Amino acid sequence: MLDDNILISYHTNSIGEIDVFMIDMVISFYEALELMEFDGDNLDVDAVINNVVTEEELISCGITEITSLPKYIRLNRESYYFNVTDNGICSYDEYTFHKYGFESSIDDDYGDISPIEYSNVTVFTDPNFFINTFEQVLFIENISYNNLGDEWEKDIISAVPMSSRQSGDIYEENEQLFLELSIIENYVLNNQSVNLLDVKENYLDENVNNIWSDDTIDALGRDHEIIKTVRLKITKRILDVIEDTLSRLGMF
């Protein structure tokens, strides 16, 4: 379940209790590219294949949030390309890769023939998409011609960190975030509810250290892990998404 960039994954056992509960903070494709400082100059460009979305394509799509975008990406085992239709619709669509060129003959110079068989099967109608980071991993692809082997090659250049968990501590200091999320996850597993959890009305104020309401502190005790450790300013949003998830499961 994805709500307000908060992604929740769960599993219930045979008696309807939650036995797996995980929280992740997802980001959009453009945000992920900025986070990893994506540089299109690291991808190959030649007369047949351009691995970077051109400036003209970005302008025609009205994309102003980002200046460099990979043309080819892979989600798990499936590959997609950035497509601009005649009526200006921009998306990532499926494609099929042919290492000896698409629609080539034995007498052709394969390096002069594109290896891409394009389709009109759209996967992401918005190029600035989100993914299920618990089940999917996104990669940037680079397509180039191997003159020695006389064939086209498709390589993975980099994984794209589409959430806090996927970025880990590589791009940001997420250790405290992971700690606090794990405490909330364990609380849900142990209690099967968040009914006792509530934050102060002014919990977003900079000078507020303990974000929890007096009723929650009284119910759990000041020494409870939740009270002592969880300080995230997005806690209220997380609790709202958890409550919605539990209500869908008939748990209140």
What percent of the chain lies above the pLDDT cut of 70? 94
Using only C-alpha atoms, the chain has a radius of gyration, in whole angstroms, of 23
Q: Mean pLDDT throughout 21-40?
A: 95
Q: What is the pLDDT of residue 111?
A: 72
Report residue 18: phi and psi, to 5°. -75, 125
Residue type at 93 in one-letter notation: D
183-226 pLDDT tens trace: 999 999 999 999 999 999 999 998 888 999 999 999 999 999 99
pLDDT grade for 252, boundaries at 50, 70 and 90: low
What are the residues whose beta carbons fall under 8 Å from the beta carbon of 17, sequence distance 6 or more? 192
The CB density around residue 57, as the number of other CB atoms within 10 Å, is: 17
Is 0.85 topped by the overall pTM?
yes
Q: Mean pLDDT throughout 134-142?
A: 97
Torsion of CA 115, 120, 123, 128, to 10 degrees: 80
Tell me how far apart the alpha carbons of residues 3 and 175 are, in angstroms, rounded to a whole number. Answer: 23
Which structure tokens are listed for 116? Answer: 């891409």
Q: Mean pLDDT throughout 220-243?
A: 94
